[in-house]
Amino acid sequence: MTATSDTTSTSATFTGTATIRNPATGGVAGEVRWTDPADVTRIAAGLRSAQREWEARGAKGRAKVLARYAVWLGEHRDDIERLLIAETGKSASDAAQEVPLIIMITSYYVRTMAKALAPEPRRAALPFLSIKKITVHYRPRAVVGIIAPWNYPVANALMDAIGALAAGCAVLLKPSERTPLTAELLLRGWLDSGGPDVLALAQGAREVSEAVIDNSDYIQFTGSSATGAKVMERAARRLTPVSLELGGKDPMIVLEDADIELAAHAAVWGAMFNAGQTCVSVERVYVLEQVYDQFVAAVVRDVQNLKMGAGEGHAFGAMIDDSQVEVTARHVEDALAKGARVLTGGKRGSGPGSFYEPTVLVDVDHSMACMTEETFGPTLPIMKVSSVQEAVRLANDSPYGLSAAVFSRDVERAQDIALQLDCGGVNVNDVISNLMCTTAPMGGWKSSGIGARFGGPEGLRKYCRIETVVSPRTSVGAGGNYYHNSPRALKRMNTLMTKLALIRPRRMAK
């Protein structure tokens, strides 16, 4: 759920306290006290100390605390969503998506974490090595630093934090300087749920982010590709491992046999949800020429029915600030200058606040920024293509590779096309649904990231160091290849090892 702007602000001063304002109304959402970057070392040291006891509780002990936290999130969902709306200018329907997703993720890990983190026995590769017991252990890293963006202040913080906490790590969370208030409420909930001091906040911008990187044992960063490169460079100074979920320009392909009404509804929701400020939003659509006119007409009809505004009764709310509005406006103006047409929308909102009208663009191509750069706004550019091969080629013609969608009544055909797309996840006859698949990891290819986020046992094990313990089952054969053996005995041993190891390859080579 990448945000294009993140922890890079240099013009603002992040000392003392600051007022956070609602981008939809300009009203005051609350006050935040910024963290002195020099204090991050002390905060991390406290987490590192508390983490030892947290790890010692074991998976079952930690699961009980996480379960209580999930209950707290459910019971305080209204409070969290009111703050989300006040801090981000979201619509009520957009704000309502975040807490349920985190409860789903937490519930999944509460049920599965003991098995996922259990010591894993491995069989010996050769019979004569069966005298050894081989066990792989998953040992948590002490402090996981999470640098989260502003577009989903609950989801982007906790979908990573929950996995790290479940693995037995302590978490140092650096929320976006644009949305710091929700993180403070989430921390209060952790403590109110009986959670130990293994979750802490560092509030601020670039300098605080750098301090978090310098004092963590693992970094999970969500944000732009440009900033992700800077995070990786900083982490490399201490060889700190990173997981990066970065930008996207997610394509959608509509085949000639698609359910056009379904595809149009999906495209509009996938493009406009959260004002388009979603990493896996639909940012470009390739439609087979046989159904292009029908699809475009259905999309325009749906978009014209959308109501823009914060809070209740609106499809989507404000953008995070005017700088994000300006990016969207620039992409639309560039497209128009190069021959595209706007069928609806195409300008910022007429009232106060950081709004941009839902916009449908046609006659677009890859010379335009709206088709090649991450817009992160409520636009839907649609391009006519003559063949599936052209659609796949254009979909892959991008530095990004986060996710995609394919629409066809022939699901097997759509699945075959999905495997031709260069990205981390593909939805067939749906959009964004891969975010709900808690049993599978979510990750991007190319400039869209390194590693994967939550989902499956991988979402826990990524925060662990692997330790392999090899112990004897019997004393028979111990020291068989040590120096004290005769050269003849060692030669026999090596000859036997080679013969045994070649049995299966020789069979398979025939």
Residues that are catalytic: 245, 279
Reading across the β-sheet that carries 341-344, which strands appear in turn? 341-344, 359-362, 379-385, 284-288, 251-254, 403-407, 425-428
Q: Which residues of 369-407 are buried (b: 16+ CB within 10 A; e: fewer)?
A: bbbbbbbbbbbbbbbbbeebeebbebbeebebbbbbbbb
Q: Tell me the β-bridge partners of 172.
A: 145, 200
Q: Tell me the β-bridge partners of 467.
A: 137
For 417, the token pair is: 């096309």
Measured CA to CA, the distance from residue 167 to residue 54 in angstroms comes to 10
CA angle 96, 97, 99 (to 5 degrees): 85
Torsions phi, psi for 272 (to 5 deg): -100, -15
Residue 131 CA to chain centroid, in angstroms? 43
Contact 499/163 with Cβ under 8 angstroms?
no
Torsions phi, psi for 186 (to 5 deg): -65, -40
Contact 140/116 with Cβ under 8 angstroms?
no
- Cβ neighbours around 311 below 10 Å, total: 18
Q: Which one, of 428, 445, 446, 447, lies nearest residue 437 by Cα?
A: 428
For 465, the token pair is: 């160091």
H-helix segments, 338-484: 369-372, 388-396, 411-418, 458-461
